[in-house]
Chains A and B, each alone.
Chain A
């Protein structure tokens, strides 16, 4: 399953606290102005919502769109790497891994 990048303040609100603590006065128009709080707790400000969403997106990007995630996607499965080490030696394995690292270099 490909994770979906957070795109709405609802994605942030879900993570604020557990339970059905918030909702929308118009579920078809989920904008901040329509945000309602069910549990009597505090209502996040609009800035908190937009900032929270931005933080989630950054984390998602780091997790899913960074050199790490790209390298992770191309690394051979563990059993294939073990087989290569056993059959071809550690240097051959290093060559395979280095090619992927070079393809997606770590930002300086």
Chain B
């Protein structure tokens, strides 16, 4: 017969097996998926596909039947749906187009020799756009560019492991508008459930803090830095006779920090310093820049003169040279009586090498003593750093 037209689809969709016989005990098969000639192989056929079994055994010798069961042999249980020339032999073709409703297991058998038989396992066909349940495709078998949008099934079953999404692969414009809107409205996440470990340094910019912070329990305010960092206390430990009728610098020579037992004093941070090689200058130097509260007190006594009067003045400099009076306190009394007073000043130390302080004292009477004591503070300085300048 001349070949006038061959459908490429027919060639593509049809598989052909050539049948022989091993005596009367087995069919022999040669064809796709088989290695050489195989006796009574188990074949897997796909629904919707057409298979041709070319039975080259002699006519009438080994009729080839497709059956639903081997029981009874002969022509019993023939399965004829989609089968053309079931039981054919003598070089004829038995053509089997496997119906979509075919059972999962069929058989072939020689109607003359029941031992010549085998199984035909019926599997779901691969239909464009679907994969049967349970089928796995190794990603190594998917060539680059083969999996395109149309191959991804709609619905909820398709999942992408986040490990397979590389950094920055999903960009903002690939998110749904509703998600972007939710993020913009700060409603995408329940912020009350955020783990503190997710708030890394720099995560929340300063501008995102409200001008008025929500109330916080004082019990929760722990470990807060930036508060009082320096407290210092000095006292005159030895009394001296104040020169009278002139304002004189109070030397830094006879000063000490409280050091008595049970006096409760403890220095905080780096304290004030004095120039041990020039106590007479009376200059006190701050340890760091900042706003300082300086309190000073004085106690006087005169054992020889009535109606004595003294003032003590706190002076500061901003250029380590010219001192200006900041605060003055007066002390006056009668002979023998002790008199005390104290004053306070705020010093803005913008440069520790330039901003310093000193004390000066004036007595209108002779024999007036500025009292010092190594056991308690009678003439003293208390310095506390309040904050940054």
**Of the candidates A14, A27, A39, which one forms a contact with B369 in the assembled complex, judged by CB atoms under 8 Å apart?**
A14
A25, chain B: closest CB distance, angstroms? 11
B256, chain A: closest CB distance, angstroms? 6
Please name all residues of chain B whose beta carbon is closer than 8 Å to the beta carbon of A3 when the two chains form the complex. 303, 336
Residue of A1, A18, A20, A27 most packed against chain B (CB within 10 A): A20
Tally chain A residues at the interface, Cβ within 8 Å: 19
For A16, give the chain B residue with the smallest CB separation: B241
Please provide the chain A residues from 31 to 73 with a CB less than 8 Å away from any CB of chain B in the complex. 38-39
Query: Does B337 sit within 8 A of A, measured CB to CB?
Result: yes
Q: Residues 1-39 of chain A: 1 if any B CB is under 8 Å from the residue's CB, otherwise 0?
A: 111000000100011011111111001101000000011
When the two chains form their complex, are residues B253 and A17 in contact, meaning their CB atoms are under 8 A apart? no
For B259, give the chain A residue with the smallest CB separation: A28
When the two chains form their complex, are residues A27 and B240 in contact, meaning their CB atoms are under 8 A apart? no
For A3, give the chain B residue with the smallest CB separation: B336
A27, chain B: closest CB distance, angstroms? 4
When the two chains form their complex, are residues A24 and B240 in contact, meaning their CB atoms are under 8 A apart? no
Please name all residues of chain B whose beta carbon is closer than 8 Å to the beta carbon of A38 when the two chains form the complex. 251, 253-254, 279-280
When the two chains form their complex, are residues B240 and A21 in contact, meaning their CB atoms are under 8 A apart? yes
When the two chains form their complex, are residues A1 and B338 in contact, meaning their CB atoms are under 8 A apart? yes
Tally chain B residues at the interface, Cβ within 8 Å: 25
Please name all residues of chain A whose beta carbon is closer than 8 Å to the beta carbon of B280 when the two chains form the complex. 38-39
Residues of B within 8 A of A (CB): 237-244, 248, 250-251, 253-254, 256, 259, 279-280, 303, 334, 336-338, 367, 369, 374
Chain A-chain B contacts (Cβ-Cβ < 8 Å), number: 59
When the two chains form their complex, are residues B336 and A19 in contact, meaning their CB atoms are under 8 A apart? no
Given contacts A1-B337, A38-B253, 13 further A-B contacts (CB under 8 A): A1-B338, A10-B238, A14-B369, A15-B367, A18-B243, A19-B242, A19-B243, A20-B250, A22-B240, A24-B237, A38-B251, A38-B280, A39-B280
For A19, give the chain B residue with the smallest CB separation: B243
Complex formed: what's the CA distance from A35 to B76 in Å?
135
4 cross-chain pairs, A with B, having the tightest CB-CB distances, nearest first: A27-B374, A27-B237, A20-B251, A18-B243
A40, chain B: closest CB distance, angstroms? 10
When the two chains form their complex, are residues A19 and B238 in contact, meaning their CB atoms are under 8 A apart? no
For A15, give the chain B residue with the smallest CB separation: B241
When the two chains form their complex, are residues A2 and B336 in contact, meaning their CB atoms are under 8 A apart? yes
When the two chains form their complex, are residues B241 and A23 in contact, meaning their CB atoms are under 8 A apart? no
Complex formed: what's the CA distance from A47 to B86 in Å?
147
Complex formed: what's the CA distance from A17 to B241 in Å?
7
Given contacts A10-B238, A27-B237, A38-B280, contact A19 B337 (CB under 8 A): no
**Of the candidates A14, A15, A19, A23, which one forms a contact with B248 in the assembled complex, judged by CB atoms under 8 Å apart?**
A19
B281, chain A: closest CB distance, angstroms? 12
Given contacts A1-B336, A3-B303, A38-B280, contact A18 B239 (CB under 8 A): no
**Of the candidates A1, A2, A20, which one forms a contact with B253 in the assembled complex, judged by CB atoms under 8 Å apart?**
A20
Complex formed: what's the CA distance from A20 to B280 in Å?
9
Please name all residues of chain A whose beta carbon is closer than 8 Å to the beta carbon of B303 when the two chains form the complex. 3
When the two chains form their complex, are residues B240 and A14 in contact, meaning their CB atoms are under 8 A apart? yes
Please name all residues of chain A whose beta carbon is closer than 8 Å to the beta carbon of B367 when the two chains form the complex. 15
Complex formed: what's the CA distance from A61 to B77 in Å?
148
B374, chain A: closest CB distance, angstroms? 4
When the two chains form their complex, are residues A23 and B254 in contact, meaning their CB atoms are under 8 A apart? yes
When the two chains form their complex, are residues A24 and B238 in contact, meaning their CB atoms are under 8 A apart? yes
Please name all residues of chain B whose beta carbon is closer than 8 Å to the beta carbon of A21 when the two chains form the complex. 240
